[in-house]
Amino acid sequence: MIPPKIFGLVGYPVEHSLSPRMHNAAFKALKINAAYRLFSLKEDELKVFFAGLKKNNIFGLNVTIPYKEKVMAFLDKISPEAKLIGAVNTVKVNQGSLEGFNTDGEGFLRHIKLSLGFNPKGKSIAIIGAGGASRAVGIYLSKEKPKRISFFDSDVAKAGNLVKHLKECFSAIEFRQSCSIEGLGIETSDLLINASPIGMKEADSCLVKEGFTRKKPLVYDLIYNPPETKLLKLAKSKGCVVSNGLGMLLYQGALAFKHWTGKEAPVEVMREALKL
Ligand code: NAP
């Protein structure tokens, strides 16, 4: 019997991940002899792990917190999108050469356009958080020519650097850095995104105060576990359309699957597998 090709997720920790469920269902549906595993690695284990991919029959990886930037050092080639974002979430082993991609931003964009019917063109957008996921989402939203994107991050320098980077890349769009969530202009925004980890823990407070929903923005929380954060609960109670990050997870996974296999991902099979 031919051993299965191995794919998997590298991060720390990774035990909570829904990716094995989604990718194993896709391999099964397309009768691909492959298995998706979790690789929970400490930082000092990364170098040896990446050097041993071929030996361990590993053909592709997803990368998550905290290694999306760090893995770039182990790759032979990085896509222009991943370079622009400054982070890699997908690695393809191509005849021994390691190629890095970033499918987070495109995955997010596909979800809001295809599933939620939101067209960013000309819209005003507020984003909480300016880390890796925010960079990916911010860049892909910017390609769609919104009117304005405002960022707030508790790390002021991080938000400042992201706004500077975006201004250099997309000169026709208005980018703002806010020094508070209140300063983001949510009341006049069409889309509010939480790209910070606040909301993952039960003890986390709600990111926004009541009364932010004058324009009833689409409220998108990149978090999918828990499925309804305090932010989403409040926004829903005020009549906003809301979404958690499960759709983004689905589409970024579908794009990664295509990079690895060259085949269109069976999106509906993967969506079904994600149902809890
Ligand atoms: P990250 O690189 O650590 O960025 C998160 C940023 O949020 C950091 O800059 C952090 O600042 C900032 N932050 C923390 N508390 C904040 C607050 N109260 N207000 C404003 N900003 C705050 O993490 P990431 O990779 O971008 O991920 C962010 C979230 O997106 C996570 O919850 C992750 O699970 C989720 N995500 C979902 C998907 C999906 O497919 N649905 C994909 C990627 C990521 P400090 O560094 O100073 O703490």
Question: How remote is the C-alpha of 205 from its chain's centroid?
Answer: 22
The pLDDT value recorded for residue 231 is 97
The pLDDT value recorded for residue 209 is 87
The pLDDT value recorded for residue 60 is 98
What lies within 8 Å, CB to CB, of 22 at 6+ separation is: 249, 250, 253, 270, 273, 274
**Cα(223) to centroid of ligand 1, in Å?**
9
**Cα(221) to centroid of ligand 1, in Å?**
11
Question: Could you tell me the two tokens for 141?
Answer: 């939203």
CB 47 within 8 A of CB 74: yes
- Closest CA relative to residue 200, chosen from 221, 231, 223, 220: 223
The pLDDT value recorded for residue 1 is 83
- Looking up tokens 């949510």, which residue turns up? 186
The pLDDT value recorded for residue 219 is 97
pLDDT per 10-residue tile (average), the chain, 276 residues: 95 95 98 98 98 95 96 97 96 95 98 97 98 96 98 97 97 97 94 97 93 87 96 95 97 98 98 88
CB 14 within 8 A of CB 53: no
Question: Could you tell me the two tokens for 68?
Answer: 């999306």
- Closest CA relative to residue 28, chosen from 266, 260, 250, 246: 266
**CB of 46 sitting under 6 A from ligand 1:** no
Strand pairing report for 77-78 and 97-101 = parallel
**CB of 199 sitting under 6 A from ligand 1:** no
| Residue identifier of the C-alpha nearest atom 17 of ligand 1 | 154
The pLDDT value recorded for residue 210 is 80
H/E stretch holding 267: helix 267-274
| Residue identifier of the C-alpha nearest atom 37 of ligand 1 | 222
CB 186 within 8 A of CB 234: no
| Residue identifier of the C-alpha nearest atom 46 of ligand 1 | 155
**Cα(95) to centroid of ligand 1, in Å?**
34
Give CA separation, 275 vs 56, 97, 203, 221, 265, in Å: 31, 35, 25, 18, 17
The pick from 106, 196, 243, 246 for probing ligand 1's pocket by mutation, whose C-beta has the most ligand atoms within 8 angstroms, reads 196
pTM value? 0.96
The pLDDT value recorded for residue 276 is 56
| Residue identifier of the C-alpha nearest atom 44 of ligand 1 | 133
